[in-house]
Structure 1
């Protein structure tokens, strides 16, 4: 009896490891491998390994590459600076002082992160362009700022600063004000004690969030494509997309540029680690309290106005522009009551319309991606945390690799891997290819959530299950997975929100005639149907914001109820 139990346990453990390995090979490893192989062997698609590196070095020596790489770095650094300028003062005020309506500002400043960047960029175009909404209301436009490098940085900074704001405000809140007070006791002024004591203690959180903003900026496609191309500002992402979508198609060149972009993201990560390791900022004693927030006094009104101004720029104006365009019967009719109506929404959501089909496709893909990524993420995390041997390090590395892969790189890898003429069967040019791309891009989220939850679980419950005759597979399905399910559901909700609106991978690998929310919006603007595009954009914002928030709130309520019942 015991021997049979051990055999079953070993088989179950091996089965979980093989499921994780096979899933990561298909979703992550094979696309990455094909990018490298295609960059080295330009004739690989024809089944030949001739002339290795012949186009690799030619692409690297192309002057256009230096221009795109320089623009990418410039855009990333500029966006980081803009995000920091908006986020740091707001985060410090929110964490260290009693800001009137703090929870309301938190909610408003979260919305920009939930709005797809390309949709926000289109909203800014409708607002600031000649004869745009700003000119109709005030008589002047800001097209010179909008269609400029600094304008692109500003808009992308407004789209991403909430990442820095929430991380940094929680970091400042943890540190508190007591260490700054100690500095003031020794004669330092308020500003000096903040910059010399509180701010350095927050450097790890600041560096991590700014790195994330940099990575998001260099891989963002929609905003540079919508604004940068009008002024000839090409970055690596748009350059890769051009080589894939425009004739003559240059697969080796796109693969080489993809490697350059991935290398740039990895260098940024190493620079972050180097900066954090140069000096050691940590709290060595005491326990800061979250209740030591101070009153703003006479600065309460200016602080509130600052929050209101940033919320208006980051949230209010883009949302209003999206809604105004969606309600306009004709763009030329302007902001007049007679030009407003629900015509675009009726056409979009009419029975059998392309818009309704695109919504259904995105909801189906988003749900399926969340389920597959959640299941694969849970199995992978279990194999890494509970497994034995060095191979689990390989699984862990593969599971986090997509963090350094921009969406355009994943799209290129998927095309190269599954569009080979010698494949007997392929998911290419089917909706399944989009599913592979989405799972690859979003897999790290459920893996990290599951890993964190598994580290909090002891081994006692699994040991008890094995003593009772259950193997690892049954223990995982009946004990471990139900316990980590709340965290996994939260991760899957976030995966659903992002997958439902993903743009660049959808543009690259979507089957002919198959539309998603992002593809539909992009095509409507290309065709001049801005009203229909913005109607879809407004629906997308509602879907990817309200549904996840409602589900997360429901999950927390159910979890609280179950915990109360257990106690």
Structure 2
């Protein structure tokens, strides 16, 4: 086997290090220093750790931390109750319309959580769409822990559904059949054989759901505040946005939230590394799946109900609101109009500027994270340079940094009065925030791609006189480009509609898609905000899919 490249890694390594320091290290270190030195903003290192006691003794903090864990646990439970049965049936039985249901259950990924939440508010609030259609509303339920759990679970349960369906499908029914040959009942064979074999994937997906739930800002901000249910994310936002501003307290709370996220992430990695199972006789075929028999109607009905609630209700609510002349006019034919969509394209309230800003930031984020990700992945996988493990660790840190924490770190790092030049209050600070939040996507994709490429290809190029840069550019980069392109398109879609960092650190007078929608909803121009939301969903869903299709046709991305 050819040795890993030793010569020529310096350009990639230095580029990766410089990018990681700017994007990841600076905001994280700023939070840690501000938490330790409360007077850092005044250029003083006096009173170290003096804010810890006051902040940690605050009864509200204990309540917010408890609420955060409670909400995360409830979302995990609700997601599991919906996703596990559906995933098992999808994997082991011939479900009619299974491919269609897969698409419908994938759509919630395409709807940003805060937009889905606004759709549910329009549906369940007093005089909402449910009351107009059926004569009652579920406002008390919506603005409660149960309501937040439901809304967030509908957004996150596809993570569990696809993990369970694919994992159980890989296991197949053949091992349970062996158990039945030896006298086990179908239920016992499932619980003692199929489920344990699928447990690592299930547990990892549930921990991802927990991490997403404790980091989510839009749903707790829209529903939790009205219900008096504060979590760490909304508490941090209050400390940096309401007077008196408490940056040391916000930093300490940010570190607590980072700790919860990091424990969850490390738990996921521990589960995946501790137990894994492999089959040795190929992928199960459709012949392995059983007919549903008497369960056909209940299973199809369950898939239909969940698909309608998770996908149909938010999308229909968003579209109905966007098409309404006035909210008070309700669901009436004479209230239908394209005025709100026309207002968006006529730049009402700066709508076109918000679209342009978000798409520009999305493209910039995709390019920068793609560059940092591919160079960092190359350094970690294909070189023996010292410090490559530190580089790998730095690319993992953003997994444990919620968007609100990144925003706080950037405020602390770049709002110092003694800095001669700062990106604060410019669009560049949003670009830094998006890059930090989304960097793990291209890094992980590129790492997996590099690991599949043998070292002999680069070694052969070097033997024939190619420099390290040339070998990387002409051989390795084209091979990893399909995975990298997919990751960059995902980054573009996510960055274009990111909310929490945009709300906290967007420069004065600069709007993004997310802040435009959020502010229109707060100001009462709900129809205009929902029209923007629908347009954003269409563009950030269809554009990446179209580009992927074009790349496949050109042969740059494999089928």
1:535 to 515, 528, 531: 531
SS, match of residue 284 in structure 2 = coil
Q: Does 1:477 align with 2:473?
A: yes
Residue 557 of structure 1: how far off its partner (Å): 3.5
1:510 aligns with 2:506: yes
Unaligned runs of 5+ in 1: 1-8
1:464-497 residue CA offsets vs partner (Å, 9 max, x unmatched): 2212222211211222111111111000000001
Question: Are 2:398 and 1:402 equivalent residues in the alignment?
Answer: yes
Q: Distance in 2 between matches of 1:298 and 1:563?
A: 40
Q: 1:222-261, aligned counterparts within 5 Å?
A: 222-261=218-257
Asked if 1:449 is matched to 2:448, the reply is: no
| Aligned match for 1:314, one of 303, 310, 315 | 310
**CA distance in 2 between partners of 1:118 and 1:158 (Å):** 12
List aligned pairs for 1:123-522, cutoff 5 A.
123-272=119-268, 280=275, 282-283=277-278, 287=282, 289-291=284-286, 292-351=288-347, 354-522=350-518
Shift of 1:281: 6.3
Q: 1:106–1:352: structure 2 CA closer, same or farther, 3 Å change rule?
A: same
Match of 2:64 in 1: 68
8 Å CA contact retained: 1:35, 1:255: yes
Aligned partner of residue 331 in structure 1, secondary structure:
coil
CA shift for structure 1 position 316: 0.4
Question: Structure 1 pair 284/98, CA: closer, same or farther in 2 (3 Å)?
Answer: closer
1:208-250 CA deviation, whole Å, 9 max, x = no partner? 1111110100000000000000011000000001111111111
Contact 1:419 1:426 in 2 (8 A): yes
Aligned 8 A contact 1:173 1:290 in 2:
no
Counterparts of 1:362 and 1:236, CA distance in 2: 27
Residue 555 of structure 2 aligns to a residue whose secondary structure is helix
Q: Distance in 2 between matches of 1:460 and 1:281?
A: 29
Shift of 1:286: 5.2
Pairing 1:83–2:79 present:
yes
**Is residue 87–residue 161 contact of structure 1 (8 Å, CA) maintained in 2?**
yes
Distance (Å, rounded) in 1 between the aligned partners of 2:511 and 2:365: 16
1:5 maps to which residue?
Answer: none
Q: Distance in 2 between matches of 1:273 and 1:447?
A: 16
SS at match of 2:425: coil
Cα offset for 1:546?
1.5
Where do 1:546-565 residues align within 5 Å? 546-559=542-555
CA contact (8 A) 1:521 1:536 kept: yes
The 2-side partners of 1:548 and 1:297 are apart by 39
Equivalences, count: 554
- Tell me the SS of whatever aligns to 2:184: coil
Q: Tell me the secondary structure at the aligned position of residue 233 of structure 1.
A: coil
Change (3 A) 1:255 1:388: same
Instruction: Tell me: CA distance 1:251–1:451, structure 2 relative to 1, closer, same or farther (3 Å).
Output: same
Rounded Cα–Cα distance in structure 2 between residues aligned with 1:50 and 1:388: 42
Show CA shifts across 1:106-165 (max 9, x none): 000000111000000000000001110000000011112111101111110011000111
Unmatched tracts of structure 2, length 5 or more: 1-5
Any idea what the Cα deviations from partners look like across 1:417-474, whole Å, max 9, x if unmatched? 1111111101111101000000000001100111111111112221222122222112
TM-score, normalization by structure 1 = 0.95
Q: How does 1:48-127 map to 2 (within 5 A)?
A: 48-127=44-123
- Cα deviation for residue 554 of structure 1 reads 2.9
Q: Over residues 381-435 of structure 1, what are the superposed CA-to-partner deviations in whole Å (9 max), with x where a residue is unaligned?
A: 1111112144000000001110111111111111111111111101111101000
- Take 1:70 and 1:311, find their aligned partners in 2: how far apart are those partners? 31
Q: Distance in 1 between matches of 2:179 and 2:172?
A: 13
With over 3 angstroms needed to count, the CA separation of the structure-2 counterparts of 1:140 and 1:244, relative to structure 1, is: same
* Whole-Å separation in 1 of the counterparts to 2:446 and 2:365: 16
8 Å CA contact retained: 2:171, 2:279 = no
